[in-house]
Amino acid sequence: MRIRLAEPADAPAVDRLTREAYSVYVPVIGREPAPMAADHAALIDAGEVHVAEVDGRVAGALVTRPLGRSLLLESVAVDPASQGRGIGRALIACAERQAAGLGLEAVELYTNAAMTANLALYPHLGYVETGRRTEDGYDRVFFRKPISAPG
């Protein structure tokens, strides 16, 4: 697996795998999760997307952006055919390295309250729940993980 900054040609693959990865949550949430509607081409142009390649194929995508003294992990998506191989965790670790490299204090993220697997995963990876609120019509659970600067 190789993780790299996404290029414009990756946008269709990122759109497809994000839609497929998050579509399982539509019945649980009652609507499409926010990442399904993201403009990945614009996010790629802004330098906010990394992709995980497996055997030369885009198998995962990570959307991040600096937000104050933290890095916001906006979304992680793994192609359903590639799930269970550690790609999601590798992308989350990429975000943590990115935050450290930028000298930021933490990685912050949110997930939908109905995504129960995520509610268990993030604390296992060292993230602490910092709050819950309804935002943009979604019931979100917010997490934060402090990051040490490299060195």
| Stated pTM of the model | 0.93
| Mean pLDDT of the chain, nearest integer | 94
Q: CA-CA distance, 73 to 30, in Å (whole number)?
A: 23
pLDDT tens-digit map of 77-121: 999 999 889 999 999 999 999 999 999 999 999 999 999 888 999
Coil/strand/helix, residue 80: helix
Element (H, E) at 17: helix 11-22
Q: Are strands 106-112 and 57-67 parallel, antiparallel or unpaired?
A: unpaired
Residue 150: what pLDDT? 57
pLDDT tens-digit map of 28-49: 999 999 999 999 999 999 999 9
Residue 117: what pLDDT? 87
Q: CA-CA distance, 147 to 151, in Å (whole number)?
A: 12
Residue 148: what pLDDT? 80
Q: Could you give the domains of the chain?
A: 2-146 (3.40.630.30)
Coil/strand/helix, residue 93: helix
